[in-house]
Structure 1
Amino acid sequence: MESLLQDKEQRQPQTIDEEYALWKKNSTGMYDFVSETKLGWPSMAIEWLPTPDISLERQELLVGTLTDKDEVDESVDKTNYLKFCKLDYPSGGKNALKVFKKFAHDGEINRIKVNPFDKNLIATINDSSVVSIFDRKQGLIATLNNAHSEEDAFGLSFNKKQKKLLLSGATDGKCVLWDIEKGTKLEEKQIHSKVINGIEFSYLNPNMFVSVSDDYQIITNDIRTLNKNQSQISVKAPSIFNTLALSPFFQNLLACAGEDTMVHLFDLRYMANGKALHQMAGHEGNITNLEFANYEDGVLASSGEDRKMIYWDITKIGNEQTQDDAEDGVPEKIFVHGGHRSSINDFSLHPSIPWLTASTEEENYTQIYRPTKKITDSDWMGNIDLSDME
């Protein structure tokens, strides 16, 4: 009887603080680098700045603030900022993230994107659907507005082949194509009936972009014929999708995720019925963000309201598993970062340093980490979740 009671106690759900303490206890052996910094305000957006020379210790990233407009303490600065942060990697300590520059920003920053051709050009979109263009040295250089309704916006994507092109998508269901060099609107189109949650240019086809929305639609468009209905291909999604990612290796590989807690993989050529090629289970709540890695074919990362970052290797789909491995999850789930104590708002995979990740949560904390090579080396990859360790 005593042993049964002990087993029952051991199975009791852990509190968030207990989960964090367990993660912290086991983190030394699971990461080559890990740091945590508490910022003054939460951030909805985070993005690495490309580093020309990865041998340099200093790495840089961008965060956007989300201040509390109802804060009554007049001594508290409620200005929103686009903040430039530096990180000494890999020699940095626990609180390695330091703000070294900031530009005042109009409204809350919902998304940050760095121009793939010029790391000094940065685009943001705010809670009034206003797109701002910043120069790293000069600050704000252009404001692109009067295209969307003045509501929240979360869709933002630079063209991967043409430096001047930027897409935005907002609550009004419209997408807008901008010329950032001229600061002008090139095209706009009502593509969704509800809020656009994500929009992204293809890495390999400079004319194609895909968007997802609360209207259950996955829509593919061609910017050359954006003002013509025949350019649009619409497919009903199995769930409301909050986010999407296009593969940098395969033009037709699309990942989507959202309210049903599953990561869905699609082939853009064969999705007329909205059926996914494969679904991956691992999250226990809404999935908030997805990103394919550019350093290894098949690696995909996802974050969610369940406080988890999951790394997947889709080349392992269908691999045989032992019974013990199967209890830990599907074979393509290779690592779970469980260090956050609240919903993850955004994350960014470093563009030059494989597996180095920055993620930010609702409770002001930003974490930087890189799983140990024991885990990321393909011969050693397994289904590893720190929350299950003792």
Structure 2
Amino acid sequence: MDSLLEDKEQRQPQTVEEEYALWKKNSTSMYEFVSETKLGWPSMAIEWLGTADSVSQRQELLVGTLTDKGDEDQSINKTNYLKFCKLDYPSGSKAALKVFKKFEHEGEINKIKVNPLDSDIIATINDVSVVNIFDRKKGLVATFSGAHSQEDAFGLSFNSSQCNILASAATDGKCVLWDTQKNIKFTESQIHSQVVNSIEFSPLNANIIVSVSDDRTIAVNDIRTMNQPQKHVSIDTKSVFNALSLSPFSQNLLACAGEDSMVHLFDLRYMSNGKTLHQMAGHEGNITNLDFAKYKDGILVSSAEDRSLIYWDLTKIGNEQTPDDAEDGVPEKLFVHGGHRSGINDFSLHPTIPWLTASTEEENYTQIYRPTEKITNPEWMGDINIDDME
């Protein structure tokens, strides 16, 4: 028995490159589509652009560059860009990403958001808290500065019901609301005492905005009363949360995650008691991004510095498991994408094609993939041949 265990341990990948090689070998069994492209610079942000036809062969997405301005090689172009990329899907005949347009961008791009009501309008926030508004046809159309301290900023969210309202949040703990049609700031509020790591409008209530911070609090605000003292709900958390997402199907469901490597679920109606509805374990590192899928109720996706992206199915919480199944994790852990060789900086779920995901890592690689239906179908284990995988 000991010799068998030793042989099994010896077959386990020992390095990141070995893990990647094993993932790549098994990828044909796990995905219906996989694309990997090495870009000129790494990216902190990635975002799909919606397409009019969900079965179109051409899909488009945005990436922002993170150039190394400390590089002394003067022959290298260190200008940052907002890049428009395309690839063929589902045919895959041109599966690699191709840049077909780019706009110069002042500073590093920390976050990209496409207006959910007008996909021609794109917002970015950079490493000195300047917000830029781009029109995909015209280029840069507005710049908002001076509202935040000139430090890194990662908070950016469009209102899903009022196309002209954009929120930004930064290191100074402020939330600022902008009118992107009048190009003015119309509300500013000190909602946190430290860095705001993420901020998001509710997709189902245009007046509610939620944020998480290094000050270990979650703040829930009504934008109509943000400037009035004691009008917001702020709860203390044991861990610093880096990311949050609000369900597009359930008005009160909030997910948060961060330094403790756990995904926490909350009910907005009972935030004042500070208790979570449920916690999910699966990552082994700092979680940096979260997003609820819009194509199916209960699907939540997270990514982390441990190089993994996890699809969760909240409808499976509490399901009974066999001892073998339990070794793979909690029942709601649907699938783990393990194709990255460094920490994942950002990911984006396609707005109209279920399960199609783009993610970008600390190195220069961007991956696009869609798990096979045998995985996204709850009964997939009854169909797949385990002998096909190693």
State if a TM-score over 0.5 links the two structures. Answer: yes
**Quick one: distance in 2 between partners of 1:2 and 1:308?**
31
Secondary structure of the structure 2 residue equivalent to 1:245: strand
Q: Cα offset for 1:163?
A: 0.5
**Quick one: distance in 1 between partners of 2:229 and 2:381?**
46
**Quick one: distance in 2 between partners of 1:93 and 1:371?**
18
Residue 96 of structure 1 corresponds to which residue in structure 2? 96
TM-score by length of 1: 0.96
Secondary structure of the structure 2 residue equivalent to 1:224: coil
CA deviations 1:219-261 (Å, max 9, x no partner) are 0001111110132110001210000000000111000000000
Which aligned pairs between 1:89-128 and structure 2 lie closer than 5 A? Answer: 89-93=89-93, 95-128=95-128
Aligned partners of 1:334 and 1:381 also within 8 Å: no
Residue 310 of structure 1 corresponds to which residue in structure 2? 310
**Quick one: distance in 2 between partners of 1:81 and 1:107?**
9
CA deviations 1:284-329 (Å, max 9, x no partner) are 0000100000000000000000000000000100001111101110
CA deviations 1:342-379 (Å, max 9, x no partner) are 00000000000000000000011000000001111233
CA RMSD for the aligned pairs?
1.8
- The yes-or-no answer on 1:34 pairing with 2:45 is no
**Quick one: distance in 2 between partners of 1:211 and 1:168?**
11
CA deviations 1:129-188 (Å, max 9, x no partner) are 000000001100000011000000000000000010000000000000000001100010
Residue 153 of structure 1 corresponds to which residue in structure 2? 153
- The yes-or-no answer on 1:56 pairing with 2:53 is no
The code of the aligned residue for 1:211 comes to S
Secondary structure of the structure 2 residue equivalent to 1:229: coil
Secondary structure of the structure 2 residue equivalent to 1:269: helix
Q: Cα offset for 1:55?
A: 2.0
The 3 A distance-change label for structure 1 pair 352 and 219 is same
**Quick one: distance in 1 between partners of 2:123 and 2:242?**
20
The code of the aligned residue for 2:372 comes to T
Residue 279 of structure 1 corresponds to which residue in structure 2? 279
**Quick one: distance in 2 between partners of 1:253 and 1:244?**
11
**Quick one: distance in 2 between partners of 1:2 and 1:327?**
20
**Quick one: distance in 2 between partners of 1:183 and 1:290?**
29
Gaps of 5+ in 1: none
- The yes-or-no answer on 1:228 pairing with 2:261 is no
**Quick one: distance in 2 between partners of 1:11 and 1:219?**
47
- The yes-or-no answer on 1:133 pairing with 2:133 is yes
Secondary structure of the structure 2 residue equivalent to 1:100: strand
Residue 240 of structure 1 corresponds to which residue in structure 2? 240
The code of the aligned residue for 1:292 comes to F
**Quick one: distance in 1 between partners of 2:202 and 2:5?**
55
Residue 182 of structure 1 corresponds to which residue in structure 2? 182
Residue 322 of structure 1 corresponds to which residue in structure 2? 322
Q: Cα offset for 1:94?
A: 7.6
Aligned partners of 1:37 and 1:94 also within 8 Å: no
Q: Which shifted more, 166-175 or 2-11? A: 2-11
Residue 342 of structure 2 corresponds to which residue in structure 1? 342
Residue 169 of structure 2 corresponds to which residue in structure 1? 169
**Quick one: distance in 2 between partners of 1:13 and 1:197?**
34
Q: Cα offset for 1:106?
A: 0.4
- The yes-or-no answer on 1:367 pairing with 2:382 is no
Q: Which shifted more, 9-18 or 274-283? A: 9-18
The 3 A distance-change label for structure 1 pair 2 and 55 is closer
The 3 A distance-change label for structure 1 pair 24 and 137 is same
Q: Cα offset for 1:273?
A: 2.7
Q: Cα offset for 1:2?
A: 7.7
TM-score by length of 2: 0.96
Q: Which shifted more, 52-61 or 371-380? A: 371-380
**Quick one: distance in 2 between partners of 1:292 and 1:113?**
15
Secondary structure of the structure 2 residue equivalent to 1:148: coil
**Quick one: distance in 2 between partners of 1:330 and 1:112?**
32
Q: Cα offset for 1:5?
A: 7.5
**Quick one: distance in 1 between partners of 2:116 and 2:124?**
14
The code of the aligned residue for 1:176 comes to V
Secondary structure of the structure 2 residue equivalent to 1:51: coil
Residue 71 of structure 2 corresponds to which residue in structure 1? 71
Residue 253 of structure 1 corresponds to which residue in structure 2? 253
Q: Cα offset for 1:13?
A: 5.8
Gaps of 5+ in 2: none
**Quick one: distance in 1 between partners of 2:344 and 2:108?**
17
Secondary structure of the structure 2 residue equivalent to 1:225: coil
Secondary structure of the structure 2 residue equivalent to 1:153: coil
**Quick one: distance in 1 between partners of 2:381 and 2:361?**
26
**Quick one: distance in 2 between partners of 1:5 and 1:221?**
54
Aligned partners of 2:87 and 2:95 also within 8 Å: no
**Quick one: distance in 2 between partners of 1:176 and 1:41?**
30
**Quick one: distance in 2 between partners of 1:22 and 1:231?**
52
**Quick one: distance in 2 between partners of 1:42 and 1:166?**
26
Aligned partners of 2:88 and 2:94 also within 8 Å: no
Q: Cα offset for 1:11?
A: 7.0
Structure 1 runs (4+) deviating above 4 angstroms are: none
Residue 219 of structure 1 corresponds to which residue in structure 2? 219
Aligned partners of 1:34 and 1:94 also within 8 Å: no
The 3 A distance-change label for structure 1 pair 192 and 11 is farther
Secondary structure of the structure 1 residue equivalent to 2:242: strand
Q: Cα offset for 1:380?
A: 2.5
The 3 A distance-change label for structure 1 pair 145 and 29 is same
The 3 A distance-change label for structure 1 pair 361 and 353 is same
**Quick one: distance in 2 between partners of 1:249 and 1:153?**
29
